[in-house]
Homo-oligomer: A and B are copies of this chain.
Amino acid sequence: MIKPRTPPGVMELLPPDQIAFQRMLDTIRRNFERFGFLPVETPVMELSEVLLTKSGGETERQVYFVQSTGALGKSEGGGESTPELALRFDLTVPLARYVAEHEHELAFPFRRYQMQRVYRGERAQRGRFREFYQCDIDVIGKDALSIRFDAELPAVIHAVFSELNVGAFTIQLNNRKLMRGFFEALGVADGEQQALVLREVDKLDKRGEGHVRDTLVDDFGLADTVVARILDFVKVRSTSHADALAKLDALGEGTDALREGVAELREVLELVRALGVPESAYALNFSIARGLDYYTGTVYETTLNDYPQIGSVCSGGRYENLASHYTKSKLPGVGISIGLTRLFWQLREAGLLDTAQSTVQALVTQMDAAHLPHCLAVAGELRHGGFNTEVVMEPSKLGKQFKYADRAGIRFVIVLGEDEIAKGTVTVKDLRREDQFEVPRSELAKTLRVELAQAQALSKAQPTA
C-alpha cells in the first residue's frame, strides 16, 4: 500500500476551491478576450537547447529536466549531458520561441494571451510553488510598437481585477527611461550601478531609510545630497490624474532619457484615462523598477489597497526585443503577467475567497426508485434549459439529499413525489432564499431563470467597492 500524496510545492484543490479557482481563470480569460487578445498554448516541455538560451544563474538552477524512461537508460553511460527536454519556467521564453518560429504566419502587432502552468524547482516553502499558473498577455510588434499599446494593458488589468472582486487596487506605473535619465543626471550613469542602487533602495521598507541612506553614502560613495534626491525620487506617488501629470512636470527638463520617459508616461496616462480607467485605480510610483535587465520603458505593478503585504498581483512592462536568441527580426513588446496560483493562495489565506457556490445549480431528488425515469426527464429539461443539474441516482432519505445539496452549495433542490408526478408539477426549494414553491414542470427552467435574474439584479444593486 502506497501513501497517496502529491509532491511538495504544488497546489491541489478540493472541488469547492477548484470551482473558485476556475471562476478566476474564466474571469481573466473573458477579460483578456474582451480586449482582443488571442489564445495561445505551448507545450509544457521545450527542447533544453531552445529553452535555456539565456542566463545560467538563478534560472538554470531552477529548471526541471525531463527524460523518458528510454532516454534515462541511454544516458547512464554518458551521465553528464543535459537532458534533451525541460519544463518551461515562464511563459515569456515560450512566447519568444513561438513568435520567432511562426513569425511569417502571424499578424503584427501580435496580441496573445496564454494561461498555463509553469515549473520552477524552488526550495519548498509555505506559499512558494513549484508548479503554478501564469496568466500572461503581450503585444508584440515587428520592428516597432507604438507606446499606445502600453496604455491598453492597465485597462485590461483594471477590467480583470474589478471583476475578480478583490477590493480596491492600484495599478502603479513607472518608466525605465525616466529612471535612467534621473540617475544619469545625478552622475549615476552606469547601468549596472543604477541597478545596484535600485536594489538597495528596494530595501527601504525592510531596513529603514537610515540604513539605506548609510549604505548609499558609505558603500556606493554617493554624496549626501545625491542620496537625498534619490530617496525623495523613489518616494513619489501620485494621488490623482492631474497630480500624476504635475509630478511629471516637476521633474523638469533633465537628460534625453528623462524627457523621453516623461513623454511616454504622459501619453500612457492620457490614454489610460481615455480608455475609461478611473483615476483612483492608477498612480505613478517612481520606485517601481522590475526585471532590471529586461524592461526598457513602461513598467507596471498592481497592489491590493487593503492587502499591501500580498505584494504585486500583476506586473509587467515594455521590452526592447523579445526573441533575439531565435530571430534577427526586432520584436519589441509590452506585457503583463498574473501569478494566479500564488494570488489564489493568498486570497484564500486572507479569507477573501467565495467558495460557497457549486457549479451544480440544481439537484433532482429521488424519493422512490420507481420515479427515476421521471427524475431523469426533469433533469433533462433543466439541462436543456441551461441549468447544471445533478440527479440523485440511488434513493435515500429526502433529508439526507437536502443536506447533501446544502453542503455541496447547490442552490435549487427539486422534489418529485407521487403527487407532483400525478399533477405534472415539481416542488422547488431554493436553498439560498430559503423559499419553496410548486411549478408546472413545463415552466420549471423558466421559473429558475427568473429566480436567478432577480438574485443577480439584487446583488448588482448593492454598492461595490
Contacts and interface: CB of A to CB of B under 8 A. Distances in A.
Given A46-B7, A148-B394, A407 B107 contact: yes
A42 interface: yes
Nearest to A139: B393
Nearest to A60: B69
A388 B127 CA distance: 35
Interface string A38-53: 1111111111011001
A63 B69 contact: yes
Given A4-B326, A39-B19, A376-B274, A388 B34 contact: yes
A319 interface: no
A85 interface: yes
Given A50-B2, A360-B38, A373-B274, A65 B66 contact: yes
B1 A326 contact: yes
Contacts of A407: 107
A391 B34 CA distance: 11
A253 interface: no
Q: How many copies of the polypeptide does the oligomer hold?
A: 2
A393 B388 CA distance: 41
Interface string A313-331: 0000000000101111000
B148 A372 contact: yes
Nearest to A85: B7
A418 interface: no
A376 B50 CA distance: 39
A149 to B, nearest CB: 6
Interface in A380-403: 380, 383, 387-391, 393-394
B40 A15 contact: yes
A152 interface: yes
Contact of A39 (B2, B15, B328): B15
Contacts of A197: none
A185 interface: no
A35 interface: yes
Nearest to A393: B148
Interface stretch (A95-103, A168-176, A231-239): A95-103
Contacts of A63: 68-69
Interface string A135-150: 0000000000010110
Contacts of A379: 275
Interface stretch (A72-80, A210-218, A439-447, A453-461): A72-80
Contacts of A67: 64-65, 67, 83
A132 B47 CA distance: 17
Given A80-B76, A149-B393, A360-B36, A377 B2 contact: no
23 contacts: A4-B97, A4-B327, A5-B97, A6-B97, A10-B43, A18-B40, A18-B41, A21-B41, A39-B359, A43-B131, A44-B117, A45-B119, A60-B69, A62-B69, A66-B66, A69-B121, A72-B83, A109-B394, A146-B393, A149-B393, A274-B373, A275-B376, A276-B380
